[in-house]
Structure 1
Amino acid sequence: MFRIAALVTAVVILAGASPSPAAAGDKTITVFAAASMKNALDEIDAAYTAKTGVKFSVSYAASSVLARQIEQGAPADIFVSADTDWMDYAIARKTINESTRVNLLGNSIVLIAPKDSKVDSVTIAEGFDLAKLAGDGRIATGDVKSVPVGKYAKAALEKLGAWQAAEPKFAMAESVRGALTLVARGEAVLGIVYATDAKVEPGVKIVGTFPADSHPAIIYPVAATTTAKGESSDYLAFLRSTAAKTILEKYGFKFLISPTT
């Protein structure tokens, strides 16, 4: 009898210790997103958490780094790339659920300088001399071989005839936010970043905007990974919503699709 009573007591204790329905329902979505998305996506995620209770684990880095991490098996539910090349790379390696892909956002690239720089307004057009403008200083951008902002920057400078002379002056950063920091700290006299990054950094100012036709269109695709949790589909739907559009446009992104309600 004692053994039976003890067993019943143990079962009751274990039942009382089991998670409540609310705790059992706690969910987390893991997002791998381009570094330039940080401020806007943090606000979007906070709004989504307030609405649904779903929490987020977010890694921000260059799209190239994130795509390779996903390829190597890093656990991620959502991938937001700053260019189509790295999303295509991930799709080719079967790590992305291609049917969920949406080319969601657009952006532009700008020339920045430290806030107190004497450089003020630069006309960026064919033949402009970026090397001369930088003088003895460095020019920061993302690695032109892999980081999307660097690839866009190099393409624009090649088309405008400014790359060859300016190339030796470049300081290549591991992400667009790294390049932004170099300029904000005065470690680079100029930088090429997205307009959205310049908008959120008080230590820099925009001194020129690259013509849209000087580089490939800047497109941010978003998609679920092939290992994404089920709740990721609702989050992707939220990214396409009017609520998300309002936040993204506040930070300077261009919404490329018709928003859902």
Structure 2
Amino acid sequence: MIRALTLALTLFASPALASEITVFAAASTGPALRQVAEAWEEETGNAATIAPAGSSVLARQIAQGAPADVFVSANVDWMDWLEERRLIVPGSRRVLMQNCLVLIAHGPAEIAPVSLTADYDVARHLAEGDRLAMALVDAVPAGIYGKQALTSLGQWEALASRVAQADNVRAALALVALGEAPVGIVYATDAAAEPRVHVLGTFPDSSHDPILYPGAVTAEAAAPAAAEDFLDYLSSDAGHAILESHGFGVPE
């Protein structure tokens, strides 16, 4: 009896097992969310695996049953798409961060950033055979925003046939960083993280939809409580400080 009681007390006193979550994250958020995950793990004892890719790819994978606990999208449309299919937990969705869209070029900056208006001809940077690097313009948020911006400035029709479309924004960034494309359209945070490119200019906010990153717990999350806690940490002062250090804007 005493031995059984001792065992029961030992089990009762044991610390709760740590939770492990998988975060499907828009490609542009990968480095920032990895740093957030490290801080969250140190504070909570839980563990988070960050799996970055294009938002469209990740949303479809979740719809097909991929084991994600949290989804962070680079636009509201793909989160809406999952919500319409009841694949995120009601009430868990919130805007986590925001971004800007920039035109980048390979190599070091030679002049100060210019104002990207309808009068600025993006095609001036493309010699014969050159391509403008963008994420997939009909599926990936960065590509969708880029197409919106060029359309708003009256330049999409002239550039459409000269676009090199990449699977995600980080792949588009790599094309310019490696010199395979002279210019590209990416997020400001991507440009800031890559020393082999420089910003030619920032597209006006009015030229495209607001670049907002919603996050939510998935309906099939294996560790929903830990997933919610991770989103809470992202929304905390500590989480905001990390996001801002990577160049993201955060909600008021």
- 2:48 maps to 56
What amino acid is aligned across from residue 63 of structure 1 in structure 2?
S
Q: CA deviation at 1:238?
A: 0.7
What letter matches 1:128 in structure 2?
Answer: Y
User: What amino acid maps onto 1:256 in structure 2?
Assistant: P
Candidates 237, 240, 245, aligned match of 1:245: 240
**Equivalent residue number for residue 72 of structure 1:** 64
Question: TM-score with structure 2 length normalisation?
Answer: 0.90
Matched, 1:221 2:214: yes
1:174-210 alpha-carbon deviations (Å, 9 max, x no partner)? 0000001000000000010000011111111111110
The equivalent residue for 1:193 is 186
Question: Structure 2: which amino acid aligns with 1:254?
Answer: G
Q: 1:22 to 1:51 in 2, by over 3 A?
A: farther
Which residue matches 1:152? 145
1:133 aligns with 2:125: yes
Q: Distance in 2 between matches of 1:169 and 1:82?
A: 24
Higher Rg: 1
1:147 & 1:98 partners in 2: Cα distance? 24
Q: Which moved more, 1:49-58 or 1:84-93?
A: 49-58
Cα pair distance change 1:45/1:164, threshold 3 Å: same
Deviations 1:41-89 (A, max 9, x none): 1110000011111111221001000000000000111000000000000
Counterpart residue type for residue 247 of structure 1: I
Mean alpha-carbon deviation: is it higher for 49-58 or for 238-247? 49-58
In structure 2, the gaps of 5 or more residues are: 1-6
Q: Which residue of 1 aligns with 2:26?
A: 34
Aligned in 2, Cα 1:208/1:25: closer, same or farther, shift over 3 Å?
A: same
The answer for the alignment partner of 2:159 in structure 1 is 166
Partner SS for 2:41: helix
Aligned with 2:176 (options 163, 174, 183): 183
The answer for the alignment partner of 1:123 in structure 2 is 115
Q: Could you tell me whether the CA contact under 8 Å between 1:127 and 1:162 is conserved in 2?
A: no
Query: Separation in 2 of the partners of 1:40 and 1:215?
Result: 24
* 2:100 aligned residue (89, 98, 108): 108
Paired residue total: 241
**By how many angstroms is 1:131 displaced?**
1.7
Q: Which amino acid aligns with 1:239?
A: L
The whole-number CA distance in structure 2 between the counterparts of 1:227 and 1:146 is: 24
Which residue identity is paired with 1:251? H
Q: List, as ranges, runs of 4+ consecutive aligned residues in structure 1 with deviation greater than 6 Å.
A: 21-24
The partner residue of 1:236 within 231, 236, 246 is 231
Query: How far is the alpha carbon of 1:115 from its aligned partner?
Result: 1.6
- Give the deviation of 1:119 after TM superposition: 7.2
RMSD: 2.1
Stretches of structure 1 lacking an aligned partner (at least 5 in a row): 1-14
Distance 1:195 1:53, change over 3 A: same
TM normalised by structure 1 equals 0.87
Q: What is the Cα deviation at residue 23 of structure 1?
A: 8.7
Q: Does residue 87 of structure 2 align to residue 95 of structure 1?
A: yes
* Secondary structure in 1 matching 2:21: strand
CA shift for structure 1 position 120: 6.0
Specify the SS of the correspondent of 2:115.
coil
* Match in the other structure for 1:8: none
Using the TM superposition, give the Cα deviation of residue 128 of structure 1 relative to its aligned residue in structure 2, in angstroms: 2.2
Give the percent of matched residue pairs that are identical in Structure 1 and Structure 2: 45
Q: Please state how far the C-alpha of 1:127 moved relative to its aligned partner.
A: 3.2
Q: Which whole-Å CA distance do the structure 1 matches of 2:109 and 2:91 have between them?
A: 47
Tell me the SS of whatever aligns to 1:231. helix
